[in-house]
Structure 1
């Protein structure tokens, strides 16, 4: 809903209140103001001009040289608008003016002729083209003859205005009208409200003498009001009316149609105007459509109806879709002289169904669907008749043609102040509650300590006690609700140990340079068990969206490889991503698949780019292995971590390892098999997947502070010749077990195969660090511990290299 503050000021005095402050107060009372639109856009130096002379430019067929009176001078302006003519009053942006879009008006020469300013269209003043009358959709805007030459054009065009854009919740249909907004603002500001005064002179002829009415679908149309206005002169609406419509986002058409749109915006009651002569029969019949019946609506679209659609007919053919849009066969046009004004109450469900089935929504259908005020149906018709008398020179026939079986009884709500205060946690006095409800114009009586309320029919959202509580709370001020701490025996919330560890995993991987990915849980049958750490019967969807999304995954890796392929195909040659998510294994007792949380990573391309004086490093097995070690170190599990070479389908046979924690297999790491890489258009790609649920559920020792060592450590290096099939990890484990409590660290620092090492053998060099936190070790103690290590290695067929 777009609310012009200039229009609003006609009902509630908001002079002296800045639009920003008004918007803030409205928002705090429960209706959110989405935006504040300054229609002037800060423009100045835009005035009314009079075209005294207009001749063709000698050097350009589409340009005209105009001599324009702007009040204090006559100036020359070059104009290319097709509708420019001598004798017009126009909008002139003088030299120095700045139009919307930061368009500055300067003196210029066009084809050798001087131009001092610009004659403007409404679009050039910031009004959207779809809101400009079709007559001025192209070319400049022509002002009325009574416009004062040299005066500021912005007030004349209604551009000295600010529009508030409301984001209404579905229950606040009352605020879909200017009067509804006026009631709201008057309550917020504790002011009175000036409702329109409806007076006009009636003709001696009665409306019931020229128009007959029959309603057959009473349930969907319990009230119908028709008024007849003769001798109407269809013409352009006065400027004030056009300005209000454009501010509300409605395109002006002609005075009759504009009046119905104006009343719709003012009262929230949709109206429709029929050409009486085009009705032909002098009768209106409201019925349900025949199956397959057709009607061409005002948008020149033929629509096929069904038996549930409500239509307005002339007794012979449909002339309007009830509550949605009129028919082209009864449209008001330039030759119309007699108008029938329709104001009706159509059931929300009927309008909603028709609107949905014919694929057409309108301002009218929106309001009917949300609910209109039954007590404004006739009043809105009277208001439209008054305006047609005043603006279009029409003669309003006496009385109205009415069908009325509508229950207009207001809803009665009884609630006690204690009930309200208990639910708000506040202490609002009954007098304050009565004052709030009085400001909202909600009739209320205090009877036996209770508030007895008659909810006005304009407020369709007031039905139960809680609705009244909301009204009192928002008008008293949500900011006034006291802040309290709940009284409870439960402990404050926090992360579970599992959640805290999972957060550590994510933070570490992101800190290591990997980006988080989120992939589909659904995959194809071929990919469902690829790279799986554990397989089980797959879970198939009964109604899959496609074959590629038919089965729940048992590994995270396939979709992550798809993500890597997608990025590489778009010239992102280095990809490092990870995901934590569920895989689905077998079926539990409740018939649902067993969800197990895993973490997986995919790396391809460069790990370190060759920046200035830097060394480029490609991703390899040891990069990903190091990331896993770092992650386990952060979880306090590094000492129980080990790797063993393995073979897995889809993985490189010589560059794949199983991951063990405390001797239990929890995952795998390695290079994707070259065949699989080629199939996916990838170069060397490394992956890892770990059963995160198993890892994070393991008990770890409490993290304890270790003082900085006061005593020196001693190192010994050894080079061992072993079979090429012997892994460094196996030797490292042997050394750690043999070194006893003095051996604090074992580190592999060299691998050699070649000269001086026989075939089938390799040389592995380790650095061993001995240390005691309580004292300085002697050489004898270190030699003794070191010899024990060497003896054990000899027994394991590891020869000390000389």
Structure 2
């Protein structure tokens, strides 16, 4: 929120420079994100009165003006402003002046006529378009007659416009919504500076006519804890006086008209959002708060017709919904220059519904921001009365007698206890009872103290304080965080280390990076279509109630959807050689929304394009199934499972190629799959031939593993034998390798499948497989007879189990 220091001085006698005040607030309350003067480096910008306006002899759109700028002689300025006229009070950037964006103004000639400066619009003085009043978007700024009567030619225009004010930008945390108002900020700064704030006061004069005779109001307590309206008749809608416009634009709000500006002024002063209706535009002499009807249409003040949802709260009159309560007003009852009678509304709406409407309609307004975070319940009707008094003063209206109150929540101030001993135990201090009493006095909290125990009555303006810890925080920040003692933690210290699960996950990442894959990090949220692709677990993805976008609606069930998006992103940019992996969680629900969804650690990878570059010595090598399967096998070998690993062909896994996909098992436990992305799916993603794997790390972690142990390198030579067999084509090589391992005995060190043949001289239902066997005896040299006996035993086992024939 932007805070005007000049406005803050209406509450408190602040003698500190703005920079020091910002430092104190930042150290005690909330972060100061910025501190500046709107005028920046601007200079020599003054008030001037237009004495005459004559057409330019050599231009059809320029005029020559003579200006009284408080000097002995009039100043001539040539301008193309369409709204300049004799008798106006305007802003003059004189010769040698500096205006917005450090633009320097020099005298010169325009179409042969001397111009000694420039008539300025607010935007040229650094005002943003969203803040500068609409009436002057196409021309220079012109002061109205009432304000102009108090201005003198030659007066510093930057001061008149409030641009010499110091502005603090506060970064307000969710628990300090009380600082979304000048009143709340004044209470806070008063506590910091040990001062007492002077709060705004007003006098409200009412006519004899009763408000209840003109309008009625209803509001269910579950939708609005407070709701009341007032009526002001015979108003004149016009521009606000300069002092009010100045306060609004300094705080970042555009002046509209005196009525609308008064409601925004109350929002800034009290933190209480308000709204004004044109009484004569109401369909019926009533307003009532209700839930929106399904698909009810409302045309809001921004000119957009919006469809309300059943969760939205609306203000209605008769059968017509007028506006989204607490978010944005409606166009049909908008206050215009023709309005004569108005209805002022003050309310506190149910925060959850306001948050839903703001998000669903993408209407995050100053009002919704405050209703979502909280509003001072004791200021709602005070702000309503203050607004009515200002309308009477600035718009010449007559305030009818009384409010029409539909709901009036009675605030019961909570009492929170805190002891001196507890404060010192938590903060590690020796703060005395007298010091704590002084802090509560600075906060203007009522309290009773008995034997070191404080019973503190919490005012409505500090709805963030509900428990003992909140009071301790108040004491700590006003005592001064810098005054808290610095102490080292006591007790037994333990060295930090990774858990076994963390060690396995980190080792997996390192292994894949060593095998040439780069890490990717993808979004957890995806589309409903992608969320159901490549599922390894039964269950459903979780649908978000309020997704950020159409592409981020559901939680992912697989890491591959994000990796394929990454492949597509690279391919679209002519980077076709991609090797990526990702480690992260997938989310699965059994459909019971009362339970926490399962979060399962996965690791996945993709290969697309070439895995090696073309060189003078070799051709580029394209990724294929066996390349990726080898990477997976290397990764799985690192885990050193007790049970054997085997790959089982899977022809029905959705989104994977039916002839190039295998499920991965350790014993009887499915831990993942590897294969080629189905060509149809690859076409959807607009990617080339791509190979992928995904593993369930939680399942891998749970499986029994061999304990790592050091094996002495044998001093004796290894003995190699080749074994070629003829076996049925349906027998997987992995099962044959398992059988060889079991029959090979303790000296069998390694098995390599180096040839698979089908075709001529081999029956159509058979295949020839050749294995390289390596034997090592760590205690002595392996003899040929011993090796041959082992190979014969292996051959017999293969013949018995698979009907294999030795070739």
The match for 2:181 among 167, 177, 181 is: 177
User: Is residue 696 from structure 1 mapped to residue 701 from structure 2 by the alignment?
Assistant: yes
Q: Distance in 2 between matches of 1:744 and 1:180?
A: 78
Looking at structure 1, the residues matched to 232 and 91 of structure 2 have their Cα atoms a distance apart, in angstroms, of: 38
Paired residues, what number?
Answer: 754
Q: What residue is the counterpart of 1:472 in the other structure?
A: 475
**Partners in 2 of 1:70 and 1:365 — Cα distance?**
45
The answer to whether the Cα contact below 8 Å between 1:173 and 1:372 also exists between their aligned partners in 2 is no
What RMSD, in angstroms, separates the aligned Cα atoms of the two structures? 6.6
Aligned to 2:125: 125
- Aligned-partner Cα distance in 1 for 2:256–2:496: 61
Listed as ranges, the matches of 1:611-630 within 5 Å are 616-630=620-634
399-408 or 183-192: which moved more? Answer: 399-408
Aligned CA distance change for structure 1 residues 634 and 45 (closer, same or farther; 3 Å): farther
1:601 aligns with 2:625: no
Give a deviation string over 1:16-51, Cα, whole Å, max 9, x none. Answer: 3344x5445434444454554642344345444555
Q: Distance in 2 between matches of 1:340 and 1:550?
A: 43
Name the residue aligned to 1:440: 443
Kindly indicate whether residue 496 of structure 2 is the aligned counterpart of residue 497 of structure 1. Answer: no
Query: Whole-Å Cα distance in 2 between the matches of residues 522 and 431 of structure 1?
Result: 60
Larger Rg computed on CA atoms? 1
Structure 1 stretch 76-85 or stretch 143-152: which is displaced more?
143-152
Q: Do residues 250 (structure 1) and 253 (structure 2) align?
A: yes
Matched, 1:431 2:430: no
Q: Is the 8 A contact 1:644 1:657 kept in 2?
A: yes
**8 Å Cα contact 1:235-1:254 kept in structure 2:** yes
Q: Give the equivalent residue in structure 1 for 2:63.
A: 64
The secondary structure found in structure 1 opposite 2:632 is helix
1:175 to partner: Cα distance: 3.0
What is residue 778 of structure 1 aligned with on the other side? none
Instruction: Please say if 1:155 is aligned against 2:154.
Output: no
User: Residues of 1 paired with 2:688 and 2:495: CA distance?
Assistant: 50
SS of equivalent residue, structure 2 residue 60: coil
**Paired position in structure 1 for 2:90:** 90
Residue in 2 aligned with 1:685? 690
Q: Deviations over 1:178-198 (max 9, x none)?
A: 222111111112234344466
Q: How far did 1:628 drift?
A: 2.2
Q: Offset at 1:139?
A: 0.9
Residue 573 of structure 1: aligned partner: 576
Q: C-alpha separation between the residues in 2 aligned to 1:353 and 1:680?
A: 39
SS of corresponding position for 1:3: strand
Does the Cα contact within 8 Å between 2:65 and 2:77 map onto a contact in 1?
yes
Indicate yes or no: 2:43 matched with 1:40.
no
Pair 1:509-2:512 in alignment: yes
| Alignment partner of 2:454 out of 447, 451, 472 | 451
CA distance in structure 2 between the aligned counterparts of 1:471 and 1:176, rounded to whole angstroms: 18
Contact 1:375–1:408 (8 Å) recurs in 2: no
Does structure 2 retain, via aligned residues, the 8 Å contact 1:49–1:70?
A: yes
Is the Cα–Cα contact under 8 Å of residues 581 and 603 in structure 2 kept in the other structure?
A: yes
| Residues 753 and 160 (structure 1), Cα distance of their counterparts in 2 relative to 1, 3 Å cut | same
Distance 1:10 1:191 in 2: 13
2:183 is paired with a residue of what secondary structure? helix
TM-score, normalised with respect to structure 1: 0.69
Q: 1:503 to 1:388 in 2, by over 3 A?
A: same
Which residue in the other structure is 2:197 paired with? Answer: 193
2-side partners of 1:361 and 1:544: how far apart?
20
CA–CA distance in structure 1, aligned partners of residues 289 and 590 of structure 2:
56
Aligned to 1:130, what secondary structure does the other structure show?
coil
Contact 2:107 2:116 (C-alpha < 8 Å) held by counterparts: yes
Q: Is the 8 A contact 1:263 1:384 kept in 2?
A: no
What SS does the corresponding residue of 2:454 show, helix, strand or coil? strand
- Which whole-Å CA distance do the structure 1 matches of 2:315 and 2:788 have between them? 98
Distance 1:666 1:332 in 2: 68
The whole-number CA distance in structure 2 between the counterparts of 1:89 and 1:328 is 35
Sort the Cα spacing of 1:690 and 1:428 in 2 relative to 1 into closer, same or farther, 3 A: same
| TM-score, normalised by the number of residues in structure 2 | 0.68
Shift of 1:795: 8.1
- The alignment status of 1:265 with 2:268, answered yes or no, reads yes
Distance in structure 2 (CA, Å) of the matches to 1:556 and 1:601: 9
Shift of 1:243: 0.9
